[in-house]
Amino acid sequence: MKKLLNDPANLVAESLRGVERAHPELRVDHENRIVYRADAPVSGKVGLLSGGGSGHEPAHAGFVGPGMLDAVCAGEVFTSPVPDQMTEATKKIDGGAGVLHLVWNYTGDVMNFDMAAELAAAETDTEVQAVVMNDDVAVEDSLFTAGRRGTGAAIAVEKIVGAAAEQGRSLSELADLARRVNDSSRSMGMALTSCTVPAKGSPTFDLPDDEIEIGIGIHGEPGRRRVPLASAHDIAEMLVDPILADRDFTGGEGVFVFVNGMGATPNLELYLMYNEIAALLDKAGIVPVRTLVGPYVTSLDMAGCLVSITRFDDEMLRLWDAPVATSGLRWGM
């Protein structure tokens, strides 16, 4: 294992200190490992909270800021934050209009966010609602989840709901919008290599040089199947075909296509993959109206990619285009 480390046990804590130094527009509660907006809580605005295990950077802290999330909780690598962290974060961003928890569908995250909502209700008068994001078409009831995993759709959900929150919409309106975006999204990923968790010091799973894993999760959990190494054209078909088979993406204003790098795959290859994916969508009569290509939801140093497609209506398109100022996404500011 070759990584930029001091002590693996201190990796998350030291990384958060770096986030704080690099981004003066953010605040970090080091005791509770919470990254939040410097202007939080914003009076009269619904607070948006997400988070999860570390190792997916820029998710989750990279999406904290105006036009997106108000705070995130950071767990250890690939490990859910605990309810006490989430409860403290909920309190920090409560501006009087309630707090919406946007939860990636992994068993620990769902359970801990549920407990945090109960604790917040018991300790304060904060109204909390939660939406679970579960867009992955690869498997049901995986190693880490009951039901489908939460993967790439979180970027669309958090961006669109974040823009709507800035407009002053109510907690129930934002929860309904989050469910609509999630329901409009499907995702599928693949791995060329495993990732190496620093505390373990060796690859999470064994993947021979002449094989790839189709349907991989963002923690290195197994996918649908292993197949021989194939061309980018064939891999694109293996990812896009199951997505299109699972949902109708025709109609509306077109689709948002997100080609995500898993951590070690360069943008040179990701844009090549987008070209193959766009050709498949052209053939299916599906029109991309917005795209995002790059490493946004990673799995440490895994090589591979994830494709996420969201069917946009006019409102989603306008909210996606609205200004955002985070370290991971920034435009219109």
Phi, psi of 208 (to 5 degrees): -55, 155
Instruction: Report the side by side order of strands in the sheet with 304-312.
Output: 225-228, 211-214, 185-191, 304-312, 254-261, 288-294
Q: Catalytic one among 23, 56, 60, 101? A: 56
Q: Catalytic one among 23, 60, 101, 219? A: 219
Q: How far apart are CA 9 and CA 328, in angstroms?
A: 26
Quick one: DSSP state of residue 150? P
Establish whether 30 is a catalytic residue.
no
Give 261's strand partners.
305
User: By three-state DSSP, how is residue 102 classified?
Assistant: strand
- Kindly tell me the burial class for residue 165, based on how many C-beta atoms sit within 10 Å of its own C-beta (0-12, 13-18, 19 or more): buried
- Among 40, 16, 39, smallest CA distance to 28 is for 16
In sequence order, what E strands does 203-313 have?
211-214, 225-228, 254-261, 288-294, 304-312
Spell 278-299 as b/e; 16+ CB within 10 A means b.
bebbeeeebebebebbebbbbb
Q: How far apart are CA 174 and CA 180, in angstroms?
A: 10
Q: Is the dihedral of CA 121, 126, 58, 68 positive or negative?
A: positive
Q: How far apart are CA 88 and CA 10, in angstroms?
A: 22
Establish whether 219 is a catalytic residue.
yes
Residue with tokens 């620990």, as numbered in its chain: 108
Task: Just list the catalytic residues.
Answer: 56, 219
